[in-house]
Amino acid sequence: MEIKINTNWEEKVLQLLSKNKNKLFKFKSIVRRIGIETKKEESILKQVLSQLEKNKSLKRVSGKYYQFSVSVIEGLSGIYFSKNGYGIVKTSDREVFISRKNSYTALDGDEVKVKIWKNENKFFNSEFEGEIVSILNRSKEKIIGRVEKNNRFIFVIPDDKNKFPQDIYIVNSKFEDVKTGDKVVVVIDNWKNIDFNPEGKIVEILGYGGELAAEMRSVILDFNLPQKFSSEIEEETNLISEIISTEEIKKRIDLRKKIVFTIDPIDAKDFDDAVSLEILENGNYYLGVHIADVSHFIKENSKLDRESQKRGTSVYLADQVIPMLPEKLSNEICSLKPNQNRLTYSCFAEITNRGTIKNYSIQKSIIKSCRRFTYEEVQKIIDEKKGDYVDDVLLMNKLKNILLKKRVKEGSINFSSDEIKFKLDEFGKPIEVIKKTRIESNSLIEEFMLLANQIVASHISKISKQKNILPFVYRVHDDPPQGKVLEFSQFVKHLGYNFDAHNISSFEYQKLMSEVKGKDEENLINEIAIRSMSKAIYTTENIGHFGLAFKHYTHFTSPIRRYPDLIVHRLLYQYESSLFSNISIEKLDSICSHSSNMEQIAINAERESMKVMQIEYLKKHIGDEFEGVISGVTNFGIFVEIKNILAEGLIKIKNLDDDYYIYDEKKHSLIGRHTKKKYRLGDSVNVKVLRVDAIDRKIDFLLI
């Protein structure tokens, strides 16, 4: 005879135990309290109790007593981040360790519901352990991978096995011509158990794995980057007129007769900042930083505004730009093109010869740029002391030096990470890697933008003290975590440098950056130093900027390519005009969090696209020799970064065949057992390109 399980038993047991949290119950006592009558029902109750114990809803004491598990917290939600073999869920106020068996089918970045309890086993440095009970929102609807096909089955092997460890079984595919090795996009149809392969369908073939076009397209899809603007957004954009009315001009300070110009990279198309400089009668400098007034054209809560907020930032891949705004706005109406009337938001500052700000004002304006300079053109004027607007350029460079000296004196850190760009052929393939050289004119615009951002943030903080606290977007950089600083200190010590980990200050970093300037290991130490720090983020809470040593900082100067800057313009104007702002602090917090997240996605996508292009370039250089620097040492080999290409590859330890090498983790070195030859982090070496794997995006080197 089939016994029906009373579905209320589990609930009754938990009610009984939760009402008597400190009391211990024997099995017979629970039987009596719940009203169990037969032996078969007792057998089923034991299964219920076993399941509740497994779920951490109750615990057994001394093997024969049952007690309510007060440590269980039901129904928390957070974001799941996958690690090597385990994961963590970050909720609003804690981090929860998730073992693989308790991860349900969660993927990296998914929003999940989690049940948590005290982490008694201490597998992970977390107070809590948990189990994912449901997926609230998938971070990725599409998975990128390569096809494996035989006569009976089709599987897709995901590109990122760390974040998606399971191969995907293709149930049906409309692409009958799909073949082994094709890079494809898959949508998951069915997956309820992590121990079984998910089922899915192929929705797009990107090309053959390893081919440049397929790999670059996979970067866009893998980071879920928007590929084009919808017809609705394009229609709304097309309704925006570039004609500036007389009424609008009357509301603004007219700077069209002033000497104002832009300085940008040679390949720039969106010019969102222009500068002007005069000497006042008292001998002080009068600097004007004029920023494209994007907020005039994009109305709050319009479709275009919501799309810009969603994108968060423009993304600069190795071969293309994915803009935050449609081209009509970013490259035309808002762009501060020469000899065109353009609406701007201007920050003016009166500055002494010591770099002190005596007065400032922030006003809506209209300009007409006299000239579009490239950095190289301005540098030539600085070097040769002749050219267009030579007096203005030289005066700006003089002020730049004053501001830079003052900023460094106050503790601001100047990192100088190397960057590259690619010269492409007619098919979009790299034929040359060009290492960007930082020149004096780069820092000219940088110093002026830093000053304007600082003034705007300081201004809002000032008026916030006079009135009620005003919700605002700050760009903040918290103090570095102590643990990471200690690791960094030990790292540079083995390279022969001192870094006081117990006196964490921007001056300590600044001193080290000065010491390594021009050395082979400069770029490496710069990168590791940045990793030792907290990430700069957007937030409504002004905690200052550690790296810049600023008490007040925001982003005001790039509203064409960053949504926080657009919000800053909007709020600044509303507060200055005593207009009512209907944006809540909760909404602003959400915008800050999303913008910070989108910024990190953009950075990661840009790096990955660079890696794809570097590998494509090196396909034609198998067997060629390059100078490099050791960027990593492990028990399985040496990572080397080619100096002029910045591509990183591995020398496998098995290919170091002149000795048996032992890994010294503390000294970040491989040391020969017999020869005592040492390969350590930061050493310069010469390598030969042995193999390039465009599918797994890996490079193998041989030491020469």
Residue type, 434: I
For the record, the structure tokens of 360 come out as: 């400032």
**Rounded to whole angstroms, what are the CA distances from 93 to 96, 102, 128, 473, 536?**
10, 21, 11, 22, 20
Say how far residue 509 (Cα) sits from the centre of its chain. 22
Query: Which residues, listed in sequence order, are joined to residue 147 by a DSSP beta bridge?
Result: 156
Compute the distance between CA of residue 454 and CA of residue 207 in angstroms, rounded to an integer. Answer: 47
Which residues are CB-neighbours of 664 under 8 A, at least 6 positions away? Answer: 670, 671
Residue type, 85: G
Token code pair at residue 503? 């006196």
Contact 334, 272 (CB under 8 A): yes
Helix, strand, coil fractions of the chain, as percent rounded to 5: 30, 30, 40
Supply the pLDDT for residue 47.
87
Q: Record the pTM.
A: 0.85
Indicate the DSSP class of residue 228: S
SS3 annotation, 242-285: CCCCHHHHHCCEECCCCCCEEEECCCCCCCCEEEEEEECCCCCE
Q: What is the pLDDT of residue 358?
A: 97
Cα separation, 647 vs 613, in Å, equals 10
Residues 6+ apart with CB under 8 A from 337: 271, 369, 372
CA distance between the termini of the chain: 79
List of domains in the chain? 9-68 (1.10.10.10), 73-137 (2.40.50.700), 142-209 (2.40.50.700), 231-435 (no CATH), 461-591 (no CATH), 622-703 (2.40.50.140)
Do residues 324 and 560 make contact, with C-beta atoms less than 8 angstroms apart? yes
Q: What is the pLDDT of residue 2?
A: 41
Q: How many CB atoms lie within 10 A of CB 376?
A: 12
Enter the tokens of residue 391. 């007096």
Residues of the chain with pLDDT under 70: 1-8, 21-22, 70-74, 119-125, 466-468, 580-581
* Joined tokens for residue 159: 């590109």
Q: Which of 409, 411, 413, 431 is nearest to 422 (CA)?
A: 431
Q: How far apart are CA 525 and CA 516, in angstroms?
A: 8
Question: Token pair for residue 566?
Answer: 């657009």
pLDDT at 494: 81
Distance CA 637, CA 690 (A): 14
**Sheet with 669-672: strands ordered across:** 661-664, 669-672, 678-680
Q: Which tokens in the block code for residue 290?
A: 């004029």
Beta strands in 398-549 (DSSP E): 420-424, 430-435, 474-476, 537-539
Tokens of 528: 């590791």
